Copies of this chain bind each other. A is one copy, B any other.
Amino acid sequence: MSPLRIALLGFGTVGSSVVHRLTRADTVRDLVLTGIFDRRADVKRERHAELRDVVWTSRIEDVLASDADVIVEAVGGLDPASGWIRDALLAGKSVVTANKQVIASDGEHLLRLAARQGRQLRFEAAIGGAMPIVRAVGDGLAGDRLIRIVAILNGTTNAVLSRMDATGCSMDAAIRDAQRRGYAEQDPRLDLDGDDARAKLAILCGLAFGLRVTPAEIAARSAATVTIADFAAARRESATIRQLAFASYAAAESTLTAWVASVAVPRHGIFGRTTGPQNAALITGVHAGEIGVSGAGAGGDATAVAIISDLLAIARDRAAIVPAPSLVRPRRILGFDASSDVRLETSDFLLAEAV
């Protein structure tokens, strides 16, 4: 079998980690990088003499017309990435993406297009970095009837909150620290406000419950207002504060409850123990009970692991059938509980008052 030919869109943090894995000593069998698209291809090509066998371009048409079998989309953002993924599928290529905005917004449509084209659209990297939650929910637990997901899905916010807790510093100082370590963007508002976690939670609602939900329909309270005093209060109750994404589905009433907020969690539970840019999730099924997953939620290398895993799945079986999802709309979508006091009963954790 000839190796899988891969063209990359976007030579940024994630893209360069993928290139590193595909071209350095620790390369991956059956995968070969043939092309790189980047808006600044000219400049970047000069800096990377070791990639001289790869075709560099800043014209997307070149990639679509190339002999690549798979496109890795690491551009980010909804537009133009979503259109490029569509065009790649129409050009007969499979696509691997780390783009939660595209999947949350256009995933259903694009997955249907991929199925029609007999190609694959895989997106393990869109949620939880290297933590294999897309496979766990969509495949490994497909045999259960899932009813709830509670998760830390945003590594940036988790790094900021756990830093404040550990050092007693201000949020501004914690944000600067996260930026220095490469865990936070220049403007971390999309992370703190919950937009990033809402997009990921919307995708998980599709995978876990078969529901069509947009990120905007998920209630959110920003973590930007959390103070050191909040941590002190939480500590007195053996708790700490984390940004959680929550979704539960009552199928009989077709009612989804979903929100993202910073809440108090027990210090020694799975969420309290999740520090830095880690992610963690508890997935509850009627038959299996609670299943936990955790791992590096951000960073180029961790995200590249998820992308390479998806590429290997395609290399293993290029004609694999990945059926298009058939999603339904829930009759009702609820946000925070009317009491504003968010409590859950589980074996593992208890959410005290929402901060």
- Copies of this protein in the assembly total 2
| A307 vs B261: C-alpha distance when bound (angstroms) | 35
| Chain B hits for A320, CB < 8 A | 317, 320-321
Interface residues of A in 302-327 (CB under 8 A from B): 302, 304-313, 316-317, 319-323
Interface residues of A in 259-295 (CB under 8 A from B): 268-270, 273, 280, 285-295
A143 in contact (CB, < 8 A): yes
Chain A 16-34 near chain B by CB (<8 Å), digits 1 or 0: 0000010000101000000
A142 in contact (CB, < 8 A): yes
Q: Can you name the residue of chain B whose Cβ is closest to the Cβ of A26?
A: B145
Chain A 123-167 near chain B by CB (<8 Å), digits 1 or 0: 010000111100110011111110000000000000000000000
Q: What count of chain A residues pass the 8 Å CB interface test? A: 54
| Chain B hits for A174, CB < 8 A | none
Least distance between A127 CB and chain B CB atoms (Å): 12
| Chain B hits for A312, CB < 8 A | 142-143
| Chain B hits for A280, CB < 8 A | 292
By the criterion CB–CB under 8 Å, are B135 and A309 in contact? no
| Chain B hits for A287, CB < 8 A | 21, 130, 301-302, 304-305
By the criterion CB–CB under 8 Å, are A305 and B285 in contact? yes
| A10 vs B316: C-alpha distance when bound (angstroms) | 32
Contact partner of A307 among B141, B143, B308, B311, CB < 8 A?
B143
By the criterion CB–CB under 8 Å, are B288 and A301 in contact? yes
By the criterion CB–CB under 8 Å, are B305 and A144 in contact? yes
By the criterion CB–CB under 8 Å, are B319 and A319 in contact? yes
By the criterion CB–CB under 8 Å, are B136 and A136 in contact? yes
| A147 vs B288: C-alpha distance when bound (angstroms) | 29
By the criterion CB–CB under 8 Å, are B292 and A293 in contact? yes
Given A135-B135, A287-B301, A316-B323, verify A28-B143 contact (CB < 8 Å): yes
Given A143-B312, A309-B139, verify A289-B285 contact (CB < 8 Å): no
Q: Can you name the residue of chain B whose Cβ is closest to the Cβ of A31?
A: B143
Q: Can you name the residue of chain B whose Cβ is closest to the Cβ of A283?
A: B295
Q: Can you name the residue of chain B whose Cβ is closest to the Cβ of A132?
A: B140
A8 in contact (CB, < 8 A): no
Determine which residue in A28, A287, A319 has the highest number of CB atoms from chain B within 10 A of its CB, and name it. A287
By the criterion CB–CB under 8 Å, are B132 and A144 in contact? no
| A22 vs B320: C-alpha distance when bound (angstroms) | 25
By the criterion CB–CB under 8 Å, are B141 and A291 in contact? no
| A286 vs B144: C-alpha distance when bound (angstroms) | 32
| Chain B hits for A63, CB < 8 A | none
| A323 vs B320: C-alpha distance when bound (angstroms) | 13
By the criterion CB–CB under 8 Å, are A141 and B132 in contact? yes
| A28 vs B313: C-alpha distance when bound (angstroms) | 26
| Chain B hits for A184, CB < 8 A | none
Given A144-B305, A305-B287, verify A139-B131 contact (CB < 8 Å): no
A121 in contact (CB, < 8 A): no
A296 in contact (CB, < 8 A): yes
| Chain B hits for A305, CB < 8 A | 141, 143-144, 285, 287-288
Least distance between A321 CB and chain B CB atoms (Å): 4
| Chain B hits for A270, CB < 8 A | 273
Contact partner of A26 among B139, B286, B304, CB < 8 A?
B286
